[in-house]
Structure 1
């Protein structure tokens, strides 16, 4: 495994940890979390549709929530143990801060 693969696996494991702690929201629930300012950080799959990317990035900008477009929907879905997830909102500030650091933000 290369260093970037190790880092990617580490980040996905951390997202899985947040999911097991019940500190993530996906899909429409993620959208509601952004609007209610409960989301601390949002991860949008790089292979999500342009419409989905625009919808969530616009909401994040409007509600001043940090976000990143990163990795594939398959990788993100697998990390949280669900199928076909394009967007993951992290609801805990601690998890969000650590993920931002790991993603270089």
Structure 2
């Protein structure tokens, strides 16, 4: 997976512009703070389905990307399958890189 994406996720974490874990991401989505949701590919099907539905309802972009270990490591935590990015510019950059658009650096 693209190291630039994980670098941006880490940047958002250091700026305290993320939330992680199912409950926290869901709460922040309801407050309309989350601009992008990252879900680990190896998270449960139930979790993926639940958050894909929530993202659709809240008109929030959702990416199924990486694995739990990689997502967790990028934010300096352990066993986190869901990350919500709250910074709009970082969310847009991650989407650009993921979809093969212009990359940074």
Cα offsets for 1:60-92 (capped at 9, x unmatched): 011111111011010000000001000000001
Aligned partner (choices 38, 43, 46) of residue 41 of structure 2: 46
Structure 1 gap ranges (5+): none
CA RMSD of aligned residues (A): 1.1
TM-score normalised by structure 1 residue count: 0.90
- Could you tell me how far 1:104 is from its partner in structure 2? 0.8
Q: Which has the higher helix share?
A: 1
Q: Which residue of 2 aligns with 1:82?
A: 77
Is 1:73 aligned with 2:71? no
Alpha-carbon shift at residue 10 of structure 1 (Å): 1.5
| 1:35 is aligned to 2:17 | no
Contact 1:35 1:59 in 2 (8 A): no
Cross-structure match for 1:22: 16
Distance in 2 between residues matched to 1:60 and 1:52, nearest whole Å: 12
Separation in 1, partners of 2:3, 2:94: 12
Give the Cα separation in 2 of the matches to 1:35 and 1:48: 22
Q: Unaligned regions of 5+ residues in structure 2, if any?
A: 101-105
Q: Give me the TM-score of the superposition, normalised by structure 2.
A: 0.90
- Equivalenced residue count is 99
